[in-house]
Amino acid sequence: MSLSTLPPLREVIAAHGLAARKSLGQNFLLDLNLTGKIARQAGDLRGCDVLEIGPGPGGLTRALLAEGARKVVAIEADPRCLPALAEINAAAGGRLEVLSGDALKLDPSAHLQAPVKVVANLPYNVGTELLVRWLSPDTWPPFWESLTLMFQREVAERIVAKPGSKAYGRLAVLSQFRAEPRICFELPPQAFSPPPKVTSAVVHIKALPAPRFAAAPKLLSEVVARAFNQRRKMLRASLKGLVPEIQSLLESAGIDPQRRAETLSLEEFCKLSEAVRVARSQR
């Protein structure tokens, strides 16, 4: 059996009793043209290891292998999917390694070799948490070259948002600080089985070789989280307690303390977090 002669996904789902479970965020992609299109957004996969989260019955997994990935490491929480994934592995000459468990708890790094691309139709319940982790390592560049991920459209818009927009917040700053995100295309609910309530979008995030502006990542994350926790408030109020003299610190960083978080550019957030770092080191 080769990848192209594997049975259609509907048959696989019926044969293995893979009725979708809401608790696991299971909305499967059954159209292999579509999974091929998603896999191609990640660029040339030949010579790359791919990390996939939540392969389910394996529609996207098949596409990643067919596009020539050197190896696919897939983390799946639902053990019912393992026999279907074993069939794909056999058809792909052993290039698929499945780690059975929760992606929030398993560390796949020992199973991957650079260059690594992450491609996933993420379970919505863990997608944002995983994205924040992938974007937040202390050292850069990270273990991945790019992330090609399915999100709810609203989350995708938050990732690429620019200052001044409603969607602009912590996710935009984190995603754009050391990486370059873009929305590739949208998918209507009917593309999935069962259809979710919302429109989805595929996002491609490319790691930059270095941060766009100097800032300590953990501190930047703290500053941004505080600023957007009370996004309607002026910065002098929302950032109160970050350092004793927040008003004068904002002024010395060239930021009007009366401004709101959503008006600050990435560069200004980096400048502000550097000023906080210096102020704290002088205490």
Alpha helices in the chain (DSSP H): 9-15, 32-41, 59-66, 82-91, 124-135, 153-160, 170-177, 217-229, 235-238, 246-252, 266-281
Q: How far is the CB of 136 from ligand SAM (least distance, A)?
A: 18
Q: How far is the CB of 245 from ligand SAM (least distance, A)?
A: 43
Residue from 55, 108, 142, 217 in contact with ligand SAM (CB under 6 A): 55
Q: Is 175 near ligand SAM (CB under 6 A)? A: no
Distance CA 10, CA 19 (A): 10
**Cβ–Cβ < 8 Å for 172, 159:** yes
| Stretch binding ligand SAM (CB under 6 A), from 20-28, 65-73, 158-166, 168-176 | 20-28
Residue from 6, 12, 13, 25 in contact with ligand SAM (CB under 6 A): 25
Which residue's CB is nearer to ligand SAM, number 13 or number 279?
Answer: 13
**Cβ–Cβ < 8 Å for 203, 149:** yes
- Supply 263's token pair: 């008006």
* Cis upstream peptide for 141 (omega within 30°): yes
| Stretch binding ligand SAM (CB under 6 A), from 25-33, 39-47, 200-208, 217-225 | 25-33
Q: How far is the CB of 41 from ligand SAM (least distance, A)?
A: 14
Which residue's CB is nearer to ligand SAM, number 153 or number 226?
Answer: 153
Give the contact letters, 116-145, x = binds to ligand SAM (CB under 6 A), - = no. -----x-x--x-------------------
Evaluated on CA atoms 252, 255, 260, 263, the torsion sign reads: negative
Q: How far is the CB of 143 from ligand SAM (least distance, A)?
A: 18
DSSP track, 98-125: EEES-TTT---GGG--SSEEEEEE--HH
Q: Binders of ligand SAM among 57-86, rule CB under 6 A?
A: 59-60, 75-78
Residue from 6, 45, 48, 53 in contact with ligand SAM (CB under 6 A): 53
Which residue's CB is nearer to ligand SAM, number 27 or number 146?
Answer: 27
By beta carbon distance, the residue nearest ligand SAM is 54
Distance CA 213, CA 271 (A): 8
Residue from 1, 104, 208, 225 in contact with ligand SAM (CB under 6 A): 104
Residue from 66, 91, 103, 171 in contact with ligand SAM (CB under 6 A): 103
Strand partners, 204: 148, 182
Distance CA 65, CA 7 (A): 16
Count residues binding ligand SAM (CB under 6 A). Answer: 22
CA atoms within 13 A on the CB side of 94: 0
Positions that interact with ligand SAM (CB under 6 A) = 24-29, 53-56, 59-60, 75-78, 102-104, 121, 123, 126
